[in-house]
Amino acid sequence: MVLKGENLNNKSQANLTLLESLTILGCVYFFGVDCNKGDISNAWSTWVGLVAGAAMGAVITWWVYYRQKKISEKQDELLNHIADLEERNKTILNKILSLEEKIEAMLKT
């Protein structure tokens, strides 16, 4: 059985542990850690670099996906056009063959 006072003590201890783990990263104001060191340039630049890198990675990934999608659609369009041309060529060749057979039949008689 956990008493209310002990439960609150455990929660505050967990919050303290979280704050201690954040202070290892350096002094970053937006996590609520007090800055007593005076110099936050290293930690701040790390976080800014991570966020900027993630944003740039997301933009590049989206751009590559979009370009590949457009190229794929264009390729599908060209393949469908080629298939239509092949079908028309087969039809024309069949007509030429039947005409040739008719001409040969007429020449034999």
> In this structure, is residue 9 part of a structural domain?
yes
> In this structure, is residue 11 part of a structural domain?
yes
> In this structure, is residue 107 part of a structural domain?
no
Q: What's the confidence (pLDDT) of residue 9?
A: 55
Give pLDDT tens digits for 18-64. Answer: 556 555 555 555 455 455 555 555 667 788 889 999 999 999 999 99
> In this structure, is residue 68 part of a structural domain?
no
The whole-model pTM stands at 0.47
Report yes or no: 28 and 44 within 8 Å, Cβ to Cβ: yes
CA nearest neighbour of 46 among 65, 61, 62, 24: 24
